Structure 1
Amino acid sequence: MSANSTPSSSAPSSRPAGSSSASSSASSTAADAASRTLGVELNGINVVHESEHKGRPRDLFWPWFAANVSVLGVSYGSFLLGFGISFWQATVVGLIGIVVSFLFCGIIALAGKRGNAPTMTLSRAPFGVNGNRVPSAISWVLTVGWETVLASLAVLATATVFEALGWEGGVVTKVVALVVVAALIVGGGILGFEFIMKLQMYITIVTGVLTVVYIVLVAPTIDFAAVSAIPAGSAPAFIGALVFMMTGFGLGWVNAAADYSRYLPKSASSRGVVFWTTFGASLAPLLLLFFGLLLAGSDPELNAAIASDPIGALTTILPIWFLVPFAIVAILGLVGGAVLDIYSSGLALLSTGLKAPRYVAASIDGLLMIAGAIYVVFFAADFLGPFQGFLITLGVPVAAWCGIFIADLQLRKKDYALAELFDPKGRYGNWNVRAILLIVVGAIVGWGFVVSSSPGFEWEGYLLGLVGGKDGEWAYANLGVLFALVIGYLGTLVFGRASVRRQESLPTNNEQIAGRAAAEATTPTGLDR
């Protein structure tokens, strides 16, 4: 429940039997007062009450743009050229990979409008109420991993800028930077939806303006002759770069796509939800990637430096006077993405079965993020290798989940039976074995067709012998991500149709649904009971 919400007095109590009504009312009043005072969102994995529905589809532009306007998008130009493809091939790869993968987010955001609940709560429809804990756990690991990566990059960028200015950029600077960055990210995750929506609007404006200034300043370093001379790569290299872009952008967000559309009223335009989510998320990465390709293709030394310090390396071509503004735009852009990640990772953790308030879950994820960032900043010798291994490895089961969820949403002609998303004995069942098997099969097949040179990922690629082996030209095409997506999607369309029809043929008790949704909305912890 947000700070501006008013609980329904007619909602049935969701507290344990034996609690007095007076005690329940007092507790609820105290929770409401705390919410208004601190601005902490109390909605968790529950259905958002109708009284809290608000906003328009165009409002989705702000969080999605802010989360993806990071100058890390410039570094992706270097990452793509590392696949051995030309500038124009990389441009096409970026266009297709970014737009298509964020279109998946736009489609999944529709579920948020239809069900007014977080992504991983609505995922119970295809997976079962408790079966959904499997993809929730995967989603949680992915979002915690992403927030760790973004926080680490923000700290490294700060240290690099300090060194470029001739100041101390060592351990002390990194520690202070980590404290500040972690406070911003964790604080945003704890405060929740209202704070995040406002924060992302300001981040969008500041980073948008400063990024344009950055582009103007470094544009003279572009060597179009050098860029156009980059030779074209093979078809496997092209596909490998495409998969990398999809996992690095939209497929990294699909498991959170409905979290920011769930407050919209059901009357909101479905086309608007899809458009503003896709457009808001894709716009900045497309522009930044194109510019990053021009920079990396013009300067081999810069291209090589980005692999070890993707953000800090970009400062080497800047005038001294713009280093501090650059640090601001870099850090805010990374924080914008990490705030959305920690918010959704907290919801995913609750969906695994943790019995705690949403802000406690976000705090737990924040501690894990800090621990991971300490390792990356102070101990890891390389960034790009583990980053690619992380993206591809988790990208496989997430792609399978994405295919399952989109196909399930496509099959459903009616809105979700909201109360039954919390009832293992309801129409969605306890465990949907078919969906679990699809994600397992998708993962097994997918991991067999991906490969990473990073330590810890050597076990992958066990099926690549079918296409030339781990040393063959198709090895780094990472076809496994696409295979997993197709397995999840087609498997659900073919084998899930009858199940969805059976579910939707069952009578719906509207009073029960409305009552349960209201009760969940007025429960401070937003627990799955």
Structure 2
Amino acid sequence: MTVPEHIPAPRAGGAGLIETAGIEIIAESERTARPRDLFWPWFAANVSVFGLSYGSWVLGFGISFWQAVVVSTIGVVVSFLLCGLIAIAGKRGSAPTMVLSRAAFGVHGQKVPGVVSWLTSIGWETFLAIMAVLATATVITQLGGDGGSVALRIIATVIVAALIVAASVLGYHTIMKLQSVLTWITGAVTILYVLLTIPHIDLAAVMAQPGGSPGQVIGALVMVMTGFGLGWINIAADWSRYQKRSASDGAIIAWNTIGGSLAPVLLVIFGTLLAGSDPDLFDAVADDPIGALATLLPVWVLVPFLVAAVLALVSGAVLGIYSSGLTLLSLGIDIPRPAAAAIDGLILTAGTIWVVFFATDFLGPFQSFLITLGVPLASWAGILIADILTRRADYDELALFDARGRYGAWDWTSIGTMAVASVIGWGLVINQFAEDAPWNNWQGYLLGLVGGKEGDWAYANLGVFVALALSFAVAWFARRGRIRAQEEGGRAAGA
């Protein structure tokens, strides 16, 4: 069969220094990864002292320690389990996540969730870079230097941005090797941090934290899910597209879930112990999460702590930049993959410079931004998960690039479902940072159904759950016939 010129032919990603494959199908000869290889990128990107900061944010919802333990465990594990389900598509179609979602949204329709995905990735990677720069400044101050120096912050920004962009430009093979090394470095220092800060825990104070209402518990749960697995879900298949076709779906789900959730569950729980013991730390985390955590350490360990913290944040940002570059290509930008990663790197650098040198507050607007994008992203995830679980055969890889193929140009059922679910979801979330991000105060117009904007449920961010569940249910039933027709047509065409 001759492949039309507008459809990229399968190609090798290149095991050399720079990965040459973009969004095209990965050649069979390059698909040599095993499910357990997925452990390294997910674990390295999430074994960070930054995870301890979530302890303060979870308790900030007004819940008890034991409620925080349940919320942290369920939220982290379930959110990465959802990532594992989407990772299955990478093995079945050997293409990036957003290209694979063309099967559910249509070849052109995929650009709708694609824009949301790109904005989410850019936001996350910029946030991680900002955290690395601010942490550097704080630790330098503790060492007796001038952490507020403009020159220091410029140097830190350049180094952090250069590390992130360089690794993402080099691509998949370099990143996989890098992550396996970073796992041991960041993991060892994180364990050291835990051992050194155990004496700061005041169990009596922690256990004295009063319990919260169901609305407060759900709010904390949504925050944890959005901050961990749901924050990565739009790139989950990018790291499984090099998997062997014979790889077990269950193994892919398991290693994705274990790699992503093992460290965060323990770190968030330990973070609640620290935050519940120290009101000053609880408050300081809001402005400089990692820098605030560094204040608990003796001077001799600050340098390795800083190195490990920055490397862990860089590790997470590298995954984001790499995947945001692939998403940019899926939107129709016709440039090489390394160039796409470099463009996103420039955006990251500009965003980091703006926040570090000019913005007066960023955590509030960022979290507001995250919840706003989290609603349509949750809807997209529900639709794609339903599509993946309904299909019985691998994807028609060429049709993913041909609007005249079996997946069509636009799937109006999916697009309509995402639009309606997002409108409903935004009505059930509230802008918790009204003063810092007044541009987002339009949300919450359906909260009157659950007690109004002043009730406990107002801060539960139910809209994220509703968008995910509603979209999954609609797609599960409404698209089954279309999926079966696509697969039957594929068998007939193959015959």
TM-score, normalised relative to structure 1: 0.89
Query: Could you tell me which residue of structure 2 aligns to residue 432 of structure 1?
Result: 411
Tell me whether 1:288 sits opposite 2:288 in the alignment.
no
Q: Deviations over 1:469-516 (max 9, x none)?
A: 21222110100000100121001011001110111110448889xxxx
Tell me whether 1:298 sits opposite 2:277 in the alignment.
yes
User: Counterpart of 2:346 in 1: which secondary structure?
Assistant: helix
Contact 1:129 1:428 in 2 (8 A): yes
User: Counterpart of 1:506 in 2: which secondary structure?
Assistant: helix
Tell me whether 1:503 sits opposite 2:486 in the alignment.
yes
| Separation of aligned partners in 2, 1:262 and 1:305 | 41
Which of 97, 101, 122 matches 1:144? 122
Query: Could you tell me which residue of structure 2 aligns to residue 461 of structure 1?
Result: 444
| Separation of aligned partners in 1, 2:405 and 2:338 | 29
Which of 304, 326, 330 matches 2:309? 330
| Separation of aligned partners in 1, 2:14 and 2:379 | 38
Query: Could you tell me which residue of structure 2 aligns to residue 131 of structure 1?
Result: 109
| Separation of aligned partners in 2, 1:374 and 1:112 | 35
Tell me whether 1:163 sits opposite 2:141 in the alignment.
yes
Deviating more after overlay: 152-161 vs 48-57: 48-57
Query: Could you tell me which residue of structure 1 aligns to residue 181 of structure 2?
Result: 202
| Separation of aligned partners in 1, 2:196 and 2:386 | 46
Tell me whether 1:153 sits opposite 2:136 in the alignment.
no
Which of 32, 40, 48 matches 1:70? 48
User: Counterpart of 1:311 in 2: which secondary structure?
Assistant: helix
Q: Deviations over 1:113-171 (max 9, x none)?
A: 11111111110000000100111111000000000000000000000000000112121
| Separation of aligned partners in 1, 2:280 and 2:461 | 27
Tell me whether 1:257 sits opposite 2:236 in the alignment.
yes
Query: Could you tell me which residue of structure 1 aligns to residue 471 of structure 2?
Result: 488
Deviating more after overlay: 271-280 vs 381-390: 381-390
Query: Could you tell me which residue of structure 2 aligns to residue 112 of structure 1?
Result: 90
Unmatched 5+ stretches in structure 1: 1-10, 18-30, 513-529
Q: Deviations over 1:458-479 (max 9, x none)?
A: 1111111222221222110100
Query: Could you tell me which residue of structure 1 aligns to residue 75 of structure 2?
Result: 97
Counterpart residue identity of residue 500, structure 1 = I
Tell me whether 1:236 sits opposite 2:215 in the alignment.
yes
TM-score, normalised relative to structure 2: 0.96
Unmatched 5+ stretches in structure 2: none
- How has the CA–CA distance of structure 1 residues 246 and 509 changed in structure 2, closer, same or farther, with 3 Å as cutoff? same
Counterpart residue identity of residue 335, structure 2 = A
User: Counterpart of 1:392 in 2: which secondary structure?
Assistant: helix
Which of 137, 159, 167 matches 1:180? 159
Query: Could you tell me which residue of structure 2 aligns to residue 408 of structure 1?
Result: 387
| Separation of aligned partners in 1, 2:41 and 2:392 | 29
Counterpart residue identity of residue 44, structure 1 = G
User: Counterpart of 1:356 in 2: which secondary structure?
Assistant: coil
| Separation of aligned partners in 2, 1:387 and 1:479 | 19
| Separation of aligned partners in 1, 2:6 and 2:262 | 48
Give the total of aligned pairs.
488
Tell me whether 1:393 sits opposite 2:372 in the alignment.
yes
Counterpart residue identity of residue 59, structure 1 = D
CA drift at 1:290: 1.1
| Separation of aligned partners in 2, 1:61 and 1:89 | 28
| Separation of aligned partners in 2, 1:81 and 1:171 | 34
Counterpart residue identity of residue 134, structure 2 = L
CA drift at 1:235: 0.8
Identity in percent: 57
CA drift at 1:14: 6.8
Q: 4+ residue runs of structure 1 moved beyond 2 angstroms?
A: 11-17, 34-37, 379-384, 507-512
Contact 1:84 1:237 in 2 (8 A): yes
Contact 2:48 2:187 in 1 (8 A): no
Contact 1:94 1:242 in 2 (8 A): yes
| Separation of aligned partners in 2, 1:80 and 1:381 | 24
| Separation of aligned partners in 1, 2:256 and 2:216 | 29
| Separation of aligned partners in 1, 2:199 and 2:83 | 36
| Separation of aligned partners in 2, 1:477 and 1:507 | 44
Tell me whether 1:317 sits opposite 2:301 in the alignment.
no
CA drift at 1:383: 3.6
Contact 1:388 1:452 in 2 (8 A): no
